[in-house]
Structure 1
Amino acid sequence: MGKIIINNLIRFMILIVLQIALFKNMGYYSLATPFPYILILFLLPIGTSNLLLYIFAFLTGLTIDAFYDTIGVHAAACVALIWFRIFFHKITLETDVINSFETPTWSEMGFKWYSTYVLLGTLVHHLVLYIVEVFSFQNILYTLASVGLSSIFTIVIIFIIGVLTYKRRSRLGN
């Protein structure tokens, strides 16, 4: 259990620093901006209590808000992502897996499940992020284009990180 907490804290620090130092300055004419820091929330252990998930998501969002000079926009999007995560886990995972402390990674859950999880979760996060940020339906096509392009950009970066950190499962354990 201690190893899981330390791994998640290290992952948190690395992804927050990368988001602030590198990805904050990346973008395509303010139309597409990557937010791979949400990988922190995707990779939290499955058996984590809902209250802890919501608190951690809110604090993660506030941390990003502090560096982006936004007031609660990322916090709202992260809480929406955790709501989606809880719902997605309930409808797609078996009870014994939900009660375990496995990290829902590509190598543990399989590509089909993981890609659906990341794709839908990223869309939920980005949709809430941009709708709350704009808080208007006046330029809805521009907002939806930003959601789509930013989601694609974020998903590509998350899958690159997934490929770089992929651990092959042992055949002896199966």
Structure 2
Amino acid sequence: MERLGFRYFVMFIVLLAVQVLFLNQIQFSGYINPYIYVLFIMLLPVNTPKYALMLLAFALGISVDIFSNSLGVHSAASVFVAYLRPVIIRVITNREEDLSEYPGLAQTGFQWFLGYAVIMILLHHLALFYLEVFTFANFLNTLYRAILSSVFSFFVIVLSQFIIFRE
């Protein structure tokens, strides 16, 4: 149990560091901003209590907010997807499927992880970008930014699953 807690602590720190030191500096023509820290929320054990899931998501989001000088948008988006995560897992999982405690690509299969990652990343990015602009005046422009960033973030997350999180 202690080993598992240490593993998630290291994952939290590494994803936070990669996000704030490298990925926050990437911005392709103002439309593509990769946010992969949502991977931490996605990879928490399936049986994580909802209160712990929400607290960890808030801690991660507020940490990104502090280092990014944003006003709580990352923490709000993180808590939003953490709140919806159990429902998303329940909806995309068949009753016959024996879902591993760890919802990674190697444990759940490509098709399941693809659906899970697309939904989680898209919801996170939609909440993040609409909270960031806090208006529907440029609705389509914000939607375009959220979708492009989601696609780029999805590719980075899936790539990380193949390279780093193979076990």
Q: Say yes or no: TM over 0.5.
A: yes
1:32-53 alpha-carbon deviations (Å, 9 max, x no partner): 1000111111100111100000
Residue pairs, 1:53-132, within 5 angstroms: 53-93=53-93, 94=95, 102-132=101-131
Residue pairs, 1:21-40, within 5 angstroms: 21-40=21-40
Q: Per the alignment, do residues 132 and 95 of structure 1 end up closer, same or farther by CA in structure 2, a change over 3 Å counting?
A: farther
Runs of 5+ consecutive residues of structure 1 not aligned to the other structure: 169-174
8 A contact 2:77–2:127 mirrored in 1: yes
* Greater Cα offset, 158-167 or 15-24: 158-167
CA drift of 1:90 comes to: 2.4
Residue pairs, 1:39-54, within 5 angstroms: 39-54=39-54
Q: How far apart are the structure 1 equivalents of 2:96 and 2:49? A: 14
Using the aligned pairs only, state the percent identity. 30
Instruction: Classify the secondary structure of the residue corresponding to 1:133.
Output: helix
Report the aligned-residue RMSD: 1.8
Match of residue 147 from structure 2: 148
Q: TM-score, normalised by structure 1?
A: 0.89
Q: How far apart are the structure 2 equivalents of 1:96 and 1:31? A: 38
Q: How far apart are the structure 1 equivalents of 2:26 and 2:166? A: 28
Q: TM-score, normalised by structure 2?
A: 0.93
Count the aligned residue pairs.
166
Q: How far apart are the structure 1 equivalents of 2:3 and 2:165? A: 18
8 A contact 1:57–1:82 mirrored in 2: yes
8 A contact 1:19–1:35 mirrored in 2: yes
Runs of 4+ in 1 over 6 A off after TM superposition: none
Runs of 5+ consecutive residues of structure 2 not aligned to the other structure: none
Whichever of the two has the greater Rg, that structure is: 1
